[in-house]
Structures are given as C-alpha cells and as structure tokens.
Amino acid sequence: MDLETIRTFIMTRGIDFGTKVVAAIVLWIIGRWAINLVAGVLRKVLSRNERVDATLAHYLSSILAAVLNLLLVLAILQVFGVQTTSFAALLAGLGLAIGTAWGGLLAHFAAGVFMQVLRPFKVGDFVSAGGVIGTVKELGIFGTTIISPDNVVNIVGNNKIFSDTITNYSATPVRRVELTAKIANGVDPVDAAARLREAIAKIPNVVTEPAPDVEVLSFTPEGPLLCVRPYTSNDNYWQVYFDTNRTIIETFKAAGYPTPETPSLIRRAGT
C-alpha cells in the first residue's frame, strides 16, 4: 500500500470515520451526564420517602443507571453502523439465563422489597428472624444483617426471613424478663414471693407498670419453683436480667432460706 492509496483512504473514509468518533464521544458525554442526573433524581425522590430504605433507593437507582448505560452503548454502536438487533437478542437470552440461574437471589430481592414496604422491623430492633436472634444492623437488598448477643455478625437471606416467623421484641415499649427461683421445702412460698417483689421493684430500670410477676410456677421434689418476671425496656433487658438473678440470691440469703436439696441428696439421706 503506497502513500497515495493511504491518502485516498483517509480522504474518502477517514473524514466519515472521524465524524462518527466525534459524534460517539459527544453522545457518550451527554448520555452519561443525563444518566447520572436521572439516577440522582430517582435516588433523592426515593430517599424522601420514609418507608423506602436508603439502601433500596440506591439499588433501584443503580439498576436504572445500568439499563440506561446499556441503551447508551447500543446507541453508540448504532452510530458506527453496527447492527444491534442480534446483539440485543443475545443480551435478552443471556439475561433470561442469568435470571433463571439466579432465581434464588431474585426471591431474596423480592422479599427485601416487601419487607421495606411492610416494615416488620427496622434497623436497631431486637428480633428473632430466620432462626437468628439479635439486633438488626442492616436490611439489605438480598440479605439482612443481624448482630447476635454474642457480637457475631449473621447475614440471613431475606426470603428465609420473610417466609418464616418474625418475632420483634422491640415492637412494644417494654419486654418481660423470664426467670425462675427455687425454694426449699418448708419455706413459705408466699413470704418468699413477697420478699422478691419488694426487692425486684428496687432494681434500676424495672418498670412499675406492668408490675413484676412473682408467683408459684410449679412444684418439684426439691421444693416450689417461683416464676420471676420483671418488665423493662429492650435496651435494659440484660442489665435487668443479671440484676434480677443477683437479687434473688441476695434476698434468699438475707432471709436465711436453706438451699434446696437435689433429688440425689434426698435419696441418700433417706437410705
């Protein structure tokens, strides 16, 4: 190929190709600006809705931006004369295959959207969901992050949570602490219950309404079993839980109650 042939090619085809390159660059710059503008507006509109989580708003705007970017690339290819009909059909088939393979992820996504709308819990609530108990840290697109009481991060699929029972311990202002206290045979259970009610009422963060429940729960060979149930807010649950256990020990010790004998000791003493 001599210089004359090269010059002829540039004069005949180069100007046309250069024009297409410039048009493609301009289309890309304007298209990207418009896409960012539209995605930003959508994100702001969704963020203003208190019922739409910020994560969901960002994700939906990202999906819109991805679709618009794909359309922009197809438009640029069209500028260069590339036939995009077969290319679009290929993308559609690929999307169907990916959608089928990722059916589980789509189910988690749909469940996440429903949870965003129905709001069975929110970030910061103490829940039992998907077989995990803990505090909700994040309600994501495909999974929910729950921090268990032992400070372990658990990521549970949204579909597993939404299709199972959800227990929200933070939905009401107060929560009941469930404990028991065993007294020895011969100890007056009415007196023991009265002492515990008075002592538990003095524990910090135990609410007065509803009042703590201290009643005879059942009878065992070692002695009566009392249920001890103070009420407190979810934030103070563990503090009241441990303080109540300590109060039971201190109250029975101050009253001089004997320690309940185990069945093995009872049988040994009777032989």
Cβ neighbors of 60 (< 8 A, separation 6 or more) are 42, 43, 46
How confident is the model over 2-14, as pLDDT tens digits?
566 666 656 666 6
Mean pLDDT of 244-269: 78
**Cβ atoms 78, 19 nearer than 8 A:** no
* Nearest CA-CA partner of 231 in 251, 203, 211: 211
**Band of the pLDDT at 182, cuts 50, 70, 90?**
very high
- pLDDT above 80 for 19: no
Helix axes 54-79, 85-101, angle to 10 degrees: 150
Task: Provide CATH code, domain 120-168.
Answer: 2.30.30.60
Q: What percent of the chain is predicted at pLDDT more than 70?
A: 75
Q: How confident is the model at residue 42 (pLDDT cuts 50, 70, 90)?
A: confident
Neighbours of 111 (CB within 10 A): 20
Residue 207 is classified by DSSP as -
Length of the chain: 271
Q: Which helix (H) or strand (E) holds 219?
A: strand 213-220
Hey, where are the domains in the chain?
Answer: 3-101, 120-168, 175-266
Q: How confident is the model at residue 117 (pLDDT cuts 50, 70, 90)?
A: confident
Candidates 248, 266, 150; CA nearest to 200 is: 248
CATH fold group of domain 175-266: Alpha-Beta Plaits (3.30.70)
State the average pLDDT over residues 24-43. 83
Burial of 139 (0-12, 13-18, 19+ CB in 10 A): buried
Q: Enter the pTM of the model.
A: 0.58
In this predicted model, what pLDDT tens digit does every residue of 71-99 receive, in sequence order?
Answer: 878 777 777 666 655 555 656 665 665 55
Radius of gyration of the chain (CA): 34
* Mean pLDDT over each residue of the chain, to the nearest integer: 80
Work out the number of other CB atoms within 10 angstroms of the CB of residue 5: 9
In contact, 229 and 212? CB cutoff 8 Å: yes
For residue 212, say if its preceding peptide bond is cis, omega within 30 degrees of 0. no
Question: Encoding tokens for residue 252?
Answer: 């029975």
Which pair of tokens denotes residue 93?
A: 């088939």
The tens digit of pLDDT for each residue in 161-178 reads 988 899 999 888 899 999
Query: The domain 3-101 is classified under which CATH number: 3.40.50, 1.10.3470, 1.10.12, 1.10.287?
Result: 1.10.287
Q: Which segment of 9-13, 23-27, 190-194 scores lowest on mean pLDDT?
A: 9-13
